[in-house]
Amino acid sequence: METKNKNALIGGLLAIVFVMAVGYAAFATQLNINGTANITSKWDVHIESITAGTPVGTATSKSATVGTDKLSATFETDLVAPGDSLTYTVEVKNGGTLPAKLSAITFEQTESNAIAYSYAGIQQNDVLAAGATTTFTVTVKYNDTVTSQPTDADKTSTLDMQLSYVQDQA
């Protein structure tokens, strides 16, 4: 191919990139955007471990698994009687070389009238320095205010947690 033709091809391809950029800007709200990426070449914030604590009452931990994106986790707990609770300790590590800020922490729980969760030791906008580790707790509890016998569906709670970290601005 001649030099001129190649220049024309480069120009054409750049025009496509430009059209894509304009398209993105115009349709940004309609694109399917799922949270914040955490696996890139220089960025590495991840859940290092989750450990279940000593149960209160007859609570048992069925599973606590870290998702493939390493920043989400699913807790499955069996709670039998009001007052039962279980606390998980979650350890998050910043293995990259840039400071990370927690931009969001979200919980999604399967519907249950009797089971409530809470977390402590972490909040939005907490900064995790490069190389640093932080721990926080997630507690799943059977409301002791519930007096009626719960249905079977109420006894097991599945909780999905998602952490989003972004670069802390200098």
Residues that bind other proteins (CB under 8 A): 3, 6-7, 9-10, 13-14, 16-17, 20, 24, 28, 31-45, 48, 68, 93, 95-98, 100, 129-132, 165-170
Backbone phi, then psi, for 74, in 5-degree steps? -120, 130
Which lies closer to other proteins via its Cβ, residue 23 or residue 81?
23
Distance, in Å, from the CA atom of 99 to the CA atom of 77, rounded to the nearest integer, reads 33
Q: How far is the CB of 17 from other proteins (least distance, A)?
A: 6
Report in angstroms the alpha-carbon separations of 13 from 4, 6, 21, 71.
Answer: 14, 10, 12, 36
Q: How far is the CB of 96 from other proteins (least distance, A)?
A: 7
Closest CA to 114 of 159, 135, 145: 145
Q: How far is the CB of 52 from other proteins (least distance, A)?
A: 18
Distance, in Å, from the CA atom of 147 to the CA atom of 2, rounded to the nearest integer, reads 83
Distance, in Å, from the CA atom of 112 to the CA atom of 84, rounded to the nearest integer, reads 15
Which lies closer to other proteins via its Cβ, residue 3 or residue 149?
3
Q: Are 94 and 58 in contact (CB under 8 A)?
A: no
Q: Which two tokens stand for residue 112?
A: 């249950």
Q: How far is the CB of 105 from other proteins (least distance, A)?
A: 15
Which residues are paired to 98 by β-bridges? none
Which lies closer to other proteins via its Cβ, residue 45 or residue 86?
45
Q: How far is the CB of 9 from other proteins (least distance, A)?
A: 6
Which lies closer to other proteins via its Cβ, residue 65 or residue 118?
65
Which lies closer to other proteins via its Cβ, residue 122 or residue 130?
130
